[in-house]
Amino acid sequence: MGNSKIMTQLSRIALIPARGGSKGILNKNLQKIGDKTLVEWAINVAIESNCFDEICLSTDSTEIRELGLKNNISVPFLRPSNLSGDSVRQKEVINHCLSYYRSEGVSFDFLTLLQPTSPFRLSDDLKAAHREFEISTNQTLVSVMEITEFDDSSSYYEDPNMVKYNSVFKSLIPILEAKATNSAGTLRQEFRKKFWRNGAIYIFRSENLFENTQLILPPVLGYKMPWQRSVNIDNEEDLKLAKLIHRARLNIDFI
């Protein structure tokens, strides 16, 4: 992009990362819950929320690309092979997307990451998360699910997805970090309420993403979701659970 290009500033972009390959489940993003693929669940909730100036599908798959075009969202590129492997980090995928738009003279205030593996988040979740985040001074929003049962296993403290929630500021602190800063030691009761990053919603201030190597910048705002909407599909068991939940939702007010 040349220095003479005039940038157009838009408010919000939703990025749906959906590569064709997968490690845990074959063609995971094309697996169906009901009559929709996981990719279509993400596309539909982004459209229904009416939150976004742009909805971008980032994929290396022509089949997934066609799903995006069929649903009238933007698929402005096919992701290169060096950004399509199992070890590629979301930060690289996000920067690739934002770099493309910058080259086209477009920038955004906020980027929302919508992984297809969380099919049950609602458009109301996206609306509420954006309302809370945009009036805050936090740098990142992360959706979380409360863990109601807890044992004393040290593995919980060592898991980076486990966080402590400050109910006053709705901010998140990794339990491992909280433990490390407590010189008197960590008591079980200090973590009576614990939350798990459920992967459904991440919101970032776009201007900070290029400037930092870290993706989730503190202070982090927590957006709480119930377990029924927090299913994150990583393996065959998760997929079976999601299908059971979906069938239950068709018959009763499950959520």
Confidence category of residue 168, pLDDT binned at 50, 70, 90:
very low
Q: What is the CATH number of the domain that holds 97?
A: 3.90.550.10
Q: With bands split at pLDDT 50, 70 and 90, how would you rate the model's confidence at 113?
A: very high
Predicted confidence at residue 255, as pLDDT, reads 45
Whether pLDDT at 155 is above 70: no
Residues 6+ apart with CB under 8 A from 84: 19, 20, 21, 60
39 within 8 A of 116, measured Cβ to Cβ: yes
Residue 178 has pLDDT above 80, yes or no: no
- What type of residue is 175? I
Q: Specify the pLDDT at position 176.
A: 38
Question: In angstroms, rounded to a whole number, what is the distance separating the alpha carbons of residues 95 and 91?
Answer: 6
* Residue 123, φ and ψ in degrees, nearest 5: -60, -35
Does 89 fall in a domain?
yes
Give the pLDDT mean for 233-243: 93
Compute how many other C-beta atoms are within 10 angstroms of the C-beta atom of residue 93.
18
Q: Are 113 and 202 within 8 A, CB to CB? A: yes
Q: Is 202 helix (H, G, I), strand (E, B) or coil?
A: strand
- Does 135 map to a domain? yes
Using one digit for the tens of pLDDT, what is the confidence trace for 11-27? 999 999 999 877 778 89
On whether residue 252 sits in a domain, the answer given is no
Going by DSSP bridges, is the β-strand pair 8-17/54-58 parallel, antiparallel, or unpaired? parallel
Q: Which stretch, 64-78, 86-100, 139-153, 216-230, has highest mean pLDDT? A: 64-78
Task: Give SS3 for 229.
Answer: helix
| pLDDT for residue 165 is more than 70 | no
Mean pLDDT along residues 219-242:
91
**DSSP per residue, 165-181:** EETTTTEEEEHHHHHHT
The arithmetic mean of pLDDT across residues 42-51, rounded, is: 98
What confidence tens digit (pLDDT) does each residue in 180-198 have? Answer: 334 344 444 444 567 788 9
200: confidence class by pLDDT, cuts 50, 70, 90: very high
The whole-angstrom separation of Cα 225 and Cα 125 is 8
Query: What is the length of the chain?
Result: 255
Q: What is the pTM of this model?
A: 0.83
Counted domains in the chain: 1
Name, of 32-46, 71-85, 206-220, the range with top average pLDDT: 32-46
C-alpha distances in Å from residue 127, one per residue of 52, 134, 223, 231, 239: 10, 11, 11, 19, 26
- Distance from C-alpha of 60 to C-alpha of 250, rounded to nearest angstrom: 33
Q: What is the mean pLDDT of the chain?
A: 83
| Residue 102: inside a domain | yes
Q: Is 240 exposed, middle or buried (0-12, 13-18, 19+ CB in 10 A)?
A: exposed
Q: What is the mean pLDDT of residues 136-150?
A: 82
Asked whether residue 118 is domain-assigned, the answer is yes
- The answer to whether residue 242 sits within a structural domain is no
Residue span of the structural domain in which 98 resides: 8-143+198-223
Residue 16 in domain: yes
- The number of angstroms, rounded, from the C-alpha of 217 to the middle of its chain's C-alpha atoms is 14
- The answer to the question of residue 216 being in a domain is yes
Encoded amino acid at 118, one letter: S
State whether residue 107 is helix, strand or coil.
strand
| pLDDT at res. 5 | 67
